[in-house]
A and B are shown apart, each in its own frame.
Chain A
Amino acid sequence: MAEKLISHIPEGPLAEKWTKHKAQIRVVSPANKRKLEIIVVGTGLGGASAAASLGELGYNVKVFCISDSPRRAHSIAAQGGINAAKNYTNDNDSIYRLFYDTIKGGDYRAREANVYRLAEVSNNIIDQCVAQGVPFARDYGGLLDNRSFGGAQVSRTFYARGQTGQQLLLGAYAALNRQVAKGSVKSYPRHEMLDLVLINGEAKGIIARNIETGEIERFGAHAVVIATGGYGNVFFLSTNAMNSNGSSAWQCYKKGAFFGNPCFAQIHPTCIPVHGTQQSKLTLMSESLRNDGRIWVPKKKEDVEKLRKKQIKPSQIPEEDRDYYLERRYPAFGNLVPRDVASRAAKERCDAGFGVNETGLAVFLDFKSAIERLGEKVITERYGNLFQMYEKITDTNPYKEPMMIYPAIHYTMGGIWVDYNLQTTIPGLYAIGEANFSDHGGNRLGASALMQGLADGYFILPYTIGDYLSHKFAEPKTDTNHPAFDEAEKAVKEKINKLLSIKGKKTVDEIHKQLGLVMWDYVGMARNEEGLKKAIGLIKDLKKEFWSNVYVAGENGEFNQELEKALRLADFLEMGELMAIDALNRKESCGGHFREEMQTEDGETKRDDENFMYVAAWEYKGDDVAPELHKEPLNYEFVKPSTRNYKD
């Protein structure tokens, strides 16, 4: 099977690879495109942009989303911005610099060629979105404005207030709507893919559940594109939307697509903390707040106790009794250390018993000194909308009392393994955006998720999928009466019937919350061998409990949100286990993956390039069989991997 892991990275100088590759791959004539059908699953930035672009090219596209409208995909919630190497600010940015920052930010666990291509097409994305009528922020001269983001020394982030993801998605969704009106794309909202159908080893269709009616439906095509985002909701609590899930990707894995680096998950340090056991999800507060906010916890345990009992207010704790732990530990970067470092440091203080809210899982982000230094007006100009949002949620005025924040799962860098063409190990199956593993290595930089989703959908997949389809136009339309569809549909129906018939004692959410706690405690910000082994055991137990003691309300033939959740949780349980297995295998620390055994004397990540400079691609071998590890070596031809340092 090892021959499946061919990355198809073109030879030649870094800057010429994509151009050369485009010249070499085949194209499909307009007349033949009309004969070809493509399924796109998911309508976030990746899926919507891909479906629209493929429709424009003349393919027959079917696009699926679980929401009532493609516009609700979770890309819509991205706040900060989108990176591009335009160098409009004249600060010596370039394609190479964006490439370098991204590969370094990923702690040298991504492919050079993919990342370079991403940087290369980044500029086209901005042009495209402007042409669609995306109202990017502009300066008084009428030109596009930029701001700075983490992990970069230049100002290259384009934005539309704090709603950049929303505006970019509305642009892609509009392009999609235009194709729907033209008839080149057919949209299937409230449809959930439950299985991938293979004929002779090639992806030829999907089985989907119509969420509105519960009907199980068959859809055939010449190729299938997965654009269903990440699997952060394995953790129950995350910044992902409630319905975001990994099931489509997981069905592909179980049909033979390898899964890349599942343990690479990003934990974002500045989220509004859990308020109690009734919490359903976590809300992100923009990273930009760390420019002026100072992070601290009390030095004295008795102050912590009083805070938790609300006997004192944080502002009453004198300066000398505050522990500004990031400034103490990382004097050079202070409160502006990277996301993974800030997150781990907050966990360390809370684990030591210094968490400041009722649950003991929160630290302060304080604007007192910034307000003293700059005045309240300046702070309002910079962060007014975030302060208002914080107050709405917590009922605390952050001008008077510090914000409370805590890290939360935010993004998964891991995903379906793809080659340079974004094709998975299954011919005809492609994965784009957060659903694939390819561009962010061990850690994603801020404002790069939007860039990747749109790069894949607008400018990469429409070219590379043509190479595969150029051999397929003579093939007739996929017959959904083929036995492979019968078999897949039967398996889906059996799974649903099984879930509905268990009628146990525990609700879906109860088991999901338990899984989330196991993941957070042992496969979260800090991992070690003992904990990971324990997690694998606990998850196996939970899986058993789920399949014998879950209670799924209602029936299949109706709108049934409990059944939707149960189907997704069945997969989350398996994904959580694979994350733990991958984390156990990777005995090094890099980016968001922190193995406690592998740290420097100062508690920083310690990579092991000699033994782990590879992509871990896992192959499914059966339900109760260990997955098989395949390694794709990462060859750094153009950049020399180095160690990150934030102390001096």
Chain B
Amino acid sequence: MDLTLKVWRQKNAKEKGHFETYQVKNISPDSSFLEMMDILNEQLIKENIDPVAVNKGCKSSGPVSFDHDCREGICGACSLYINGRAHGPDNDITTCQLHMRKFKDGDTITIEPWRSAGFPIIKDLVVNRNAFDQILQAGGFVSVNTGGVPDGNAIPIPKKDADESMDAASCVGCGACVATCKNGSAMLFVSARVSSLALLPQGKIEGARRAKAMVAKMDELGFGACTNTRACEMECPKGISVSNIARLNREFLCAKLKD
């Protein structure tokens, strides 16, 4: 496949960014999207190694930076906004699981970073998602130390609760929900963690404190409010349900009422 790529380039957080247009050729439809990006980068490096032979003497602005790691849809590092959609034109996948057969020969593909006030750009397509760590540090844990805990089977947990908790715990922390939300809200992310713990007896004890602390931190870090458009749910690669947001609101309200 031959493709035209319009890629967001930005040298660092301070400088203004712009789109650059590149052509890539002979891309296998079986390649993943990130493998296509690898090929683009090899090409951009080659243009600088030997500009005359590769690109009529023109030098490129160097390889495109993008976050990626496991390339099997679980680490949550990859974070591309492709043709106006977080993780591109397929459902229930991260960018690394997107394959080129989803595109047609001759297509033009626009590639941007996550855009949100909560995620400042570091370089090109790489953003800073440290805010997610900070939100979880505010309360996304059960306060137990290592050792001195009861036997794993001491407290039976209904299978349904464990399964629902696992559904919410599938969140990979990629930030697609924030990038997709017109308000730049992190409610889906926060609610997934709050829910997965609130559904278990171990997490219930601190439920109220946790919900308040995490919401307060989210607000403090500049994420927007939720206006129930459900766009986050549509683009979540792990299918995290907005019913978690309802649960978070319930937890939060109960906590506030007790204050």
Instruction: Please tell me which one of the listed residues A160, A178, A275 contacts residue B31 in the complex, with CB atoms under 8 A apart.
Output: A275
Q: Contacts A76-B74, A142-B157, A174-B140 given: A509-B69 contact, CB under 8 Å?
A: no
**B-contacting 9-mer, from A123-131, A250-258, A416-424, A597-605:** A123-131
Instruction: Please tell me which one of the listed residues B130, B145, B196 contacts residue A68 in the complex, with CB atoms under 8 A apart.
Output: B130
Is B257 interfacial (CB 8 A cutoff)? no
Q: How far is the CA of A71 from the CA of B93 in the complex (A)?
A: 19
Residues of chain A within 8 A (CB-CB) of B129 are 68-69
Residues of chain A within 8 A (CB-CB) of B28 are 275-276, 278
A131 and B150 contact, CB distance less than 8 A: yes
Residues of chain A within 8 A (CB-CB) of B137 are 177-178, 180-181
Contact flags (1/0) for B86-124 with A, using CB distance below 8 Å?
000000010001010100000000000000000000110
A74 and B146 contact, CB distance less than 8 A: no
B152 and A86 contact, CB distance less than 8 A: yes
Shortest Cβ gap from A169 to chain B (Å)? 10
Is B227 interfacial (CB 8 A cutoff)? no
Q: How far is the CA of A126 from the CA of B130 in the complex (A)?
A: 30
Shortest Cβ gap from A588 to chain B (Å)? 35
Q: Contacts A52-B146, A127-B151, A553-B45 given: A242-B99 contact, CB under 8 Å?
A: no
A280 and B38 contact, CB distance less than 8 A: yes
Shortest Cβ gap from B259 to chain A (Å)? 21
**Minimal Cβ-Cβ distance residue in A for B70:** A241
Q: How far is the CA of A463 from the CA of B96 in the complex (A)?
A: 40
Is A243 interfacial (CB 8 A cutoff)? yes
Contact flags (1/0) for B147-161 with A, using CB distance below 8 Å?
101111101111100
Residues of chain B within 8 A (CB-CB) of A389 are 73
Residues of chain B within 8 A (CB-CB) of A242 are 68-71
Is A167 interfacial (CB 8 A cutoff)? yes
Q: Contacts A71-B173, A241-B75, A562-B63 given: A133-B142 contact, CB under 8 Å?
A: yes
Q: Contacts A74-B69, A554-B62 given: A135-B144 contact, CB under 8 Å?
A: no
A462 and B146 contact, CB distance less than 8 A: yes
A135 and B146 contact, CB distance less than 8 A: no
Is A458 interfacial (CB 8 A cutoff)? yes
Is B19 interfacial (CB 8 A cutoff)? no
Is B255 interfacial (CB 8 A cutoff)? no
**Minimal Cβ-Cβ distance residue in B for A394:** B30
B45 and A562 contact, CB distance less than 8 A: yes
Shortest Cβ gap from B88 to chain A (Å)? 13
**Minimal Cβ-Cβ distance residue in A for B42:** A507
Interface positions of A from 104 to 157, Cβ below 8 Å from B: 124, 126-133, 135-144
Is chain B's binding surface mostly helix, strand, loop or mixed? loop
**Minimal Cβ-Cβ distance residue in B for A240:** B70
Q: Contacts A86-B152, A88-B153, A507-B46 given: A392-B144 contact, CB under 8 Å?
A: no
Interface positions of A from 22 to 53, Cβ below 8 Å from B: 49, 52-53
Shortest Cβ gap from B124 to chain A (Å)? 8
Instruction: Please tell me which one of the listed residues B35, B153, B166, B197 contacts residue A161 in the complex, with CB atoms under 8 A apart.
Output: B166
A553 and B130 contact, CB distance less than 8 A: no
Q: How far is the CA of A141 from the CA of B197 in the complex (A)?
A: 20
Q: Contacts A76-B74, A142-B157, A561-B63 given: A135-B169 contact, CB under 8 Å?
A: yes
Instruction: Please tell me which one of the listed residues A127, A177, A275, A459 contacts residue B152 in the complex, with CB atoms under 8 A apart.
Output: A127
A77 and B133 contact, CB distance less than 8 A: no
Residues of chain A within 8 A (CB-CB) of B50 are 505
Is B67 interfacial (CB 8 A cutoff)? yes
A141 and B156 contact, CB distance less than 8 A: yes
Is A393 interfacial (CB 8 A cutoff)? yes
Interface positions of B from 133 to 188, Cβ below 8 Å from A: 133, 136-138, 140-147, 149-153, 155-159, 162-163, 165-166, 169-170, 172-173
A142 and B76 contact, CB distance less than 8 A: no
Q: How far is the CA of A3 from the CA of B230 in the complex (A)?
A: 65
A170, A505, A554: most-surrounded residue (chain B CB, <10 A): A170
Is B249 interfacial (CB 8 A cutoff)? no
Q: How far is the CA of A561 from the CA of B122 in the complex (A)?
A: 13
Q: How far is the CA of A52 from the CA of B142 in the complex (A)?
A: 13
Q: How far is the CA of A118 from the CA of B172 in the complex (A)?
A: 29
Is B253 interfacial (CB 8 A cutoff)? no
Shortest Cβ gap from A113 to chain B (Å)? 22
B63 and A163 contact, CB distance less than 8 A: no
Is B132 interfacial (CB 8 A cutoff)? yes
B170 and A212 contact, CB distance less than 8 A: no
Q: How far is the CA of A632 from the CA of B156 in the complex (A)?
A: 46
**Minimal Cβ-Cβ distance residue in B for A125:** B152
Besides the contacts A136-B152, A281-B71, A558-B123, what 20 more A-B pairs have beta carbons closer than 8 Å? Answer: A68-B128, A72-B76, A127-B150, A135-B196, A138-B158, A142-B157, A143-B153, A144-B153, A160-B166, A163-B170, A166-B170, A212-B122, A241-B75, A242-B70, A275-B28, A275-B31, A283-B71, A393-B97, A510-B42, A554-B62
Q: Write the residues of chain A forming the contact surface with B, with a CB cutoff of 8 angstroms.
A: 49, 52-53, 56, 67-72, 74, 76-77, 86, 88, 124, 126-133, 135-144, 160-161, 163, 166-167, 170, 173-175, 177-178, 180-181, 187, 189, 212, 241-243, 275-276, 278-281, 283-284, 389, 392-395, 458-459, 462, 504-505, 507, 509-510, 551, 553-554, 558-562
List 11 A-B residue pairs with CB atoms under 8 Å apart, sorted by A's residue number.
Answer: A68-B130, A72-B76, A128-B146, A129-B152, A178-B137, A243-B69, A275-B30, A276-B31, A507-B42, A559-B122, A559-B126
